[in-house]
Chains A and B, each alone.
Chain A
Amino acid sequence: AQSVTQLGSHVSVSEGALVLLRCNYSSSVPPYLFWYVQYPNQGLQLLLKYTTGATLVKGINGFEAEFKKSETSFHLTKPSAHMSDAAEYFCAVSDTGNQFYFGTGTSLTVIP
């Protein structure tokens, strides 16, 4: 069975500071891992995904995430937060079957 835990439903950072959003997963098979961003009243936009290969994945808007199998984690980072990064972020896992399993989301606030 697959599941995702996002630690911290709300994260606040100062503009220019490091962004770290945590995601831990459980999966009975090698997982595919995803981060999505959702702006208010918008759909989901794919930030990045891990399928196979290099465990450090770079995505759009300067975000990256590292797949750590030993820690069952896929934390999202960005070295320097921008005001436009304020949004809801969702981590998801798939076993290539019929479903995504989403975390409950982390709301990121960027303080000027």
Chain B
Amino acid sequence: EAEVAQSPRYKITEKSQAVAFWCDPISGHATLYWYRQILGQGPELLVQFQDESVVDDSQLPKDRFSAERLKGVDSTLKIQPAELGDSAMYLCASSLGPLVGAFFGQGTRLTVV
């Protein structure tokens, strides 16, 4: 069964350092999402791509976060500099289109110390 791949699974980083997460969506899925989930809350959308274009990044803290999907396939989410409040699970998801259900990767659990 096709899966969304994410790496790393776990990341511990010091405050003010840079950190990057990678996501490879299910083959053929044009829509890619990055979500952040804090324990006890639902996932919150950070950025949404349609192919290589950003269609929604209204909730992305652009002073420190950036995301790209250069060839419309895999994607990278970067945080620089990391802050203590960035500790969370970062989830990547993909779907065939924006109107259908999305499938999630296993996530990257980030701890900022």
Real binding pair: no
Q: A residues touching B (Cβ–Cβ < 8 Å)?
A: none
